[in-house]
Amino acid sequence: MKNYNINNLPEEMQKIIGELKQSKNKLDCLHKAYDALTAKHRGYRYATITHFSNLFIKNPNELWDKREKILCTNLNHLLKILLVGSGFFMDKDVKKKWTSVGYTSPHQYLRVKINDNQYINVDVWGKANGIEFGDYAHGFH
């Protein structure tokens, strides 16, 4: 992941990162980042088909301000920036994982390292589709 200068991120992202820096620990930080992102954006089924061009957007300034459908990959990119920006996580602690939804649509979620023995699956896109924190969308789930 490209190292983003926090000062070049949208003001709202900078504010959230500042709040994340005050977290108690990695798990608290992850929950707060997840809550902040899911409060602002949501995942939509079939958005990959209807908004395919969004797949190639990597600029966090452009993604953060999007009001239209945002893809799982975009949401994960924003979450990773928040987590690494918090100082609690390093780039290598946040891994992209792939699965399929409905057995036909590729879907990305994140696997986040909390400590040497604990990893948490995080699916920001999935929250709007009934997927709880710690789980990820797959198959018909």
CB 41 within 8 A of CB 73: no
Residue 32 pLDDT class (50, 70, 90 cuts): very high
In this prediction, residues 113-138 reach a mean pLDDT of 91
Residue 134 lies in a domain: no
- pTM to 2 decimal places: 0.88
Whether 37 has a pLDDT exceeding 70, the answer reads yes
Q: Residue 137: its pLDDT value, please?
A: 83
What is the rounded distance in angstroms from the CA atom of residue 78 to the CA atom of residue 29? 14
Residue 133 lies in a domain: no
What is the domain range of residue 62? 6-127
Residue 91 lies in a domain: yes
In DSSP terms, 106 is beta-bridged to 100
Per-residue pLDDT tens digits for 102-116: 777 888 999 999 999
Residue 132 lies in a domain: no
Return the higher-pLDDT residue of 102 and 22. Answer: 22
Chain centroid, CA 69 distance in Å? 14
Residue 64 lies in a domain: yes
Residue 138 lies in a domain: no
Geometric angle at alpha carbon 9, from 119 and 122, rounded to 5°: 20
What is the rounded distance in angstroms from the CA atom of residue 53 to the CA atom of residue 19? 32
Residue 23 lies in a domain: yes
Residue 141 lies in a domain: no
Instruction: Quote the number of domains for the chain.
Output: 1
Which of these ranges, 57-61, 75-79, 87-91, 109-113, has the smallest mean pLDDT?
A: 57-61
